[in-house]
Amino acid sequence: MTVSPDNAMTTTDGKAQDHIVKLEDIHLSFGQTQVLKGVNLTVNKGDAVSIIGPSGSGKSTLLRCINALAMPQRGRITVNGTRVDQLTKESERIELRKRVGIVFQQYNLFPHLTVLDNIVLPPTKILGVNRAAAEKLARELLDKVRLSDKANSYPGQLSGGQQQRVAIARALAMKPELVLFDEVTSALDPETVGEVLQVIRDLVRDGMTSILVTHEMRFAEEISDTVVFTENGLIVDHGSPEQIFHTSTNPRIRQFVGGLGARGTVRDGEGI
């Protein structure tokens, strides 16, 4: 079982497990607004976990907790041996973030740097990698995301899908232990969604631990080892894609995935 809401506390402590991320009883509020109300989630090394659910259910906040961009008021977060909830200093959080890649909806490439420099900057400045080595890796990654010919372009000269692929390459340049994807295709037009999903698909196939917040139900179904359904700051259910998308008895989940068309809304160019 990859995800174990509620019973997570009973099975783990002290035992050598291959889980890489473990959230236990996470509570988080912004002022009076309770965003997360006791979330439990375990992700195993090499797995792809998709988090689905309606907007405002706390999906993105959950993701931000994993690399300390948001700090919960209560609960334990463990990322590959690091107790994230206990990191009080910014320097400690930076150490964690070096190991956890994150890709956002709005790409957020640095517009004043070329594609190549966007990918070279983080490893050279944050990890202290020398320029030649970072550039070699950057070119390999650009090859991987099929943008070798765009190395000297500026982000403003690329399409949204191309920018997002560069953003993924930039995250990989830090050689992260896992990558978080926060609705990375939500700002893209249907035609370019496919090219970004293909890059993530390759990554998951290569065994990169990936946690995705997504509205691409078909894609989640295809690549995930586990799908998590969240609503109102809680994990309502979790399980294999088959369980969540097709055999769930929960009426809310059936309504949600049915409404988004778990089957039958194949997009052109998306591929399988």
Partner 1 sequence: MQDSSILNTFIAMMDRIGLNYEFLATGYEATIWRDGFITTLYLIALLIPVSLVAGLVFAACLTSGRPFLSAPVRGFVEITRNTPTLVQLMFSFLVLNTFVSNLVGGAQNNPLTPFFWVVAVVGLHIAALHAEAMRAGIEAVPSSMVEAARGMGFSQWQILRHVELPLAFRASLPAIVNNLINLVKLTTVGNAIAVSEITYASIMVWTQRDNVVSLMIVILVFFSAINIVVARLGIWVERKLAVPGYGL
> How far, in Å, CA of 25 to CA of 129, rounded?
38
Identified binder of partner 1 from the candidate list 37, 45, 76, 98, rule CB under 8 A: 98
Site for partner 1 contains 260 (CB under 8 A):
no
Strand order of the β-sheet with 209-213 is 100-103, 178-182, 209-213, 48-52, 226-231, 234-239
> How far, in Å, CA of 204 to CA of 10, rounded?
29
Q: Pick between residue 18 and residue 90 the one whose CB is nearest to partner 1.
A: 90
**Phi/psi at 233 (nearest 5 deg)?**
75, 15
> How far, in Å, CA of 158 to CA of 196, rounded?
13
Q: For partner 1, which stretch binds (CB under 8 A), given 43-51, 138-146, 149-157, 235-243?
A: 149-157
Cβ atoms within 10 Å of 50's Cβ, excluding its own: 26
Strands 226-231 and 178-182: unpaired
Is the separation of the CB atoms in 138 and 119 below 8 Å? Answer: yes
Identified binder of partner 1 from the candidate list 157, 247, 250, 255, rule CB under 8 A: 157
Site for partner 1 contains 239 (CB under 8 A):
no
Identified binder of partner 1 from the candidate list 74, 83, 112, 175, rule CB under 8 A: 112
Identified binder of partner 1 from the candidate list 81, 156, 251, 264, rule CB under 8 A: 156
Identified binder of partner 1 from the candidate list 28, 43, 174, 227, rule CB under 8 A: 174
Q: How far is the CB of 133 from partner 1 (least distance, A)?
A: 18
> How far, in Å, CA of 184 to CA of 193, rounded?
9
Q: How far is the CB of 158 from partner 1 (least distance, A)?
A: 8
Q: How far is the CB of 103 from partner 1 (least distance, A)?
A: 9
Q: Pick between residue 127 and residue 133 the one whose CB is nearest to partner 1.
A: 127
Site for partner 1 contains 94 (CB under 8 A):
yes
Site for partner 1 contains 138 (CB under 8 A):
no
State the distance between the two ends of the chain, measured CA to CA, in whole angstroms. Answer: 25
Q: Pick between residue 158 and residue 253 the one whose CB is nearest to partner 1.
A: 158
Is the separation of the CB atoms in 184 and 192 below 8 Å? Answer: no
Cβ atoms within 10 Å of 35's Cβ, excluding its own: 22
Q: Which of 205, 222, 202 is CA-nearest to residue 267?
A: 222
Q: Which amino acid is at 126?
A: I
Site for partner 1 contains 4 (CB under 8 A):
no
Site for partner 1 contains 128 (CB under 8 A):
no
Identified binder of partner 1 from the candidate list 154, 177, 215, 232, rule CB under 8 A: 154
Q: Pick between residue 15 and residue 89 the one whose CB is nearest to partner 1.
A: 89
Residues in the chain: 272
Q: Pick between residue 187 and residue 234 the one whose CB is nearest to partner 1.
A: 187
> What residue ranges bind partner 1 (CB under 8 A)?
67, 69, 90-91, 94-95, 97-98, 101-102, 104, 106, 108, 110-112, 121-122, 125-126, 153-158, 170-171, 174
